[in-house]
């Protein structure tokens, strides 16, 4: 039987890319009848298997941006056998110089397709002097694939009793009571700005929670890396935990999509983005979305400018008019 290889990391941690990988793998498995789907997660113990897969004639779906993987694919992959997924990693191409830039170009020349999660990402590839030679390889695909409803029960078991009761009661009463924002992990962008605007959103939620006592302000953070900024955010979370009954912090890699069914407002205040899975999930479950205008957003999303607009005022005005 033929094989199709999928090279990419699955949760945990839970983030847009790992969630996409999990669902894409499931989609390939369900829709492929004449080939065996083989998962290869990028790690030291799988290096030999990855090299063997790259050298084979079978199709490889590469949904990871680790430079070591790109380097291996550059040297070992057969032409026209790699489908590469760009989840916004191309934003770093401007900083590429010398041999690294040549490695990326050679890799893209070998690719069968380059799948962009947002059309605007194509501009990032124009830094390569042979852009016209790869221009025909681009396809735009949404990073969002619907979640498997079968996993709902297992996800709900990870919620604490208070959050579980909130979810069940609100869903039963057909209400939307949660104001939600989420982050893969606290991090800074290339300019040193808070990628998810977490620091400000925590302050905003803490300020609005006492005002809107019948709503619940929830911040989901999948994990905390060992960086000074991440630990600063973690300390802020710890200082506010338990201060208000309706200010909730969801941590430790918990999935949030069930909560989007009872979300009054989902906020995506990122300084850079590809095609946000969580934003698409919110729209899928009918939750209103307020998002930064740093990239083109789907229809129906309320936009704001991170530099010009007062985010606190925007959220306050929306809740006041609900």
- Provide mean pLDDT across the span 242-253: 95
- Provide mean pLDDT across the span 301-318: 96
| Structural element, H or E, at residue 7 | strand 2-7
Quote the pLDDT of residue 12.
Answer: 84
Quote the pLDDT of residue 34.
Answer: 87
Least confident of 30-34, 139-143, 317-321: 30-34
Q: Do domains 2-140 and 149-321 have the same CATH topology?
A: yes
Quote the pLDDT of residue 270.
Answer: 97
| Domain boundaries, given as residue ranges, for the chain | 2-140, 149-321
- Provide mean pLDDT across the span 134-162: 94
Angle 182-185-186 from CA coordinates, rounded to 5°: 95
Say if CB 116 and CB 86 are below 8 A apart: yes
Quote the pLDDT of residue 15.
Answer: 86
Is 149-321 a CATH 3.40.50.10800 domain? no
Quote the pLDDT of residue 185.
Answer: 94
- Residue 322: pLDDT over 80: no
Buried/exposed 170-208: b ≥16 CB within 10 Å, e otherwise: beeeeebbbbbbbbbbbeeeeeeebbbbbeebbebbbeb
Quote the pLDDT of residue 66.
Answer: 92
- Residue 148: pLDDT over 90: no
User: What is the Cβ-side half-sphere exposure of residue 197, based on CA atoms within 13 angstroms?
Assistant: 22
Least confident of 3-17, 63-77, 218-232: 3-17
How many C-beta atoms lie closer than 10 Å to residue 243's C-beta?
10
Q: Tell me: the pLDDT tens digits for 6-50?
A: 999 998 888 889 999 999 999 999 888 889 999 999 999 999 999
Q: Tell me: the pLDDT tens digits for 104-127?
A: 999 999 999 999 999 999 999 999
Domain 2-140 falls in which CATH fold? Rossmann fold (3.40.50)
Quote the pLDDT of residue 84.
Answer: 98
- Residue 1: pLDDT over 80: no
- Residue 64: pLDDT over 80: yes
Pairing of strands 113-116, 138-140: parallel
Q: Respond yes or no on whether the N-terminal peptide bond of residue 267 is cis (omega within 30° of 0).
A: no
Q: Tell me: the pLDDT tens digits for 170-192?
A: 999 999 999 999 999 999 998 99
Quote the pLDDT of residue 190.
Answer: 87
Q: What is the model's pTM?
A: 0.85
């Amino acid at each position: 039987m033929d094989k199709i290889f999928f090279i990419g990391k699955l949760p945990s941690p839970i983030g847009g890319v790992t969630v996409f990988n999990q669902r894409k793998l499931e989609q390939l498995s369900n829709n492929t009848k004449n080939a065996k789907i083989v998962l290869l997660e990028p790690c030291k113990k799988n290096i030999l298997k990855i090299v063997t897969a790259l050298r084979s004639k079978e199709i490889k779906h590469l949904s990871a941006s680790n430079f070591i993987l790109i380097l291996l694919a550059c040297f070992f992959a057969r032409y026209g056998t790699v489908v590469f997924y760009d989840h916004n990693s191309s934003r770093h191409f401007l900083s590429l110089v010398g041999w690294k830039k040549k490695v990326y170009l050679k890799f893209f020349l070998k690719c069968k397709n380059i799948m962009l999660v947002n059309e605007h990402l194509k501009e990032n590839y124009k830094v390569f002097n042979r852009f016209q030679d790869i221009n025909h390889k681009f396809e735009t695909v949404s990073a969002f694939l619907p979640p498997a409803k079968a996993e709902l029960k297992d996800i709900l078991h990870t919620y604490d009793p208070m959050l579980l009761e909130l979810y069940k009661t609100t869903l039963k009463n057909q209400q939307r009571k949660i104001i939600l924002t989420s982050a893969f992990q606290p991090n800074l962008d290339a300019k040193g700005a808070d990628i998810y605007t977490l620091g400000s959103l925590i302050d905003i939620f803490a300020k609005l929670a006492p005002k809107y006592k019948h709503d619940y302000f929830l911040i989901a953070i999948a994990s905390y890396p060992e960086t000074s900024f991440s630990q600063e955010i973690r300390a802020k979370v710890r200082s506010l935990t338990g201060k208000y009954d309706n200010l909730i912090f969801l941590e430790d890699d918990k999935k949030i999509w069930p909560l989007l069914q009872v979300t009054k407002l989902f906020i995506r205040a990122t300084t850079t983005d590809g095609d946000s899975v969580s934003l698409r999930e919110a729209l899928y479950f009918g939750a209103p979305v307020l998002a930064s205008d740093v990239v083109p957003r789907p229809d129906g999303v309320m936009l704001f400018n991170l530099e010009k607009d007062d985010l606190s005022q925007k959220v306050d005005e929306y809740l006041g008019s609900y």
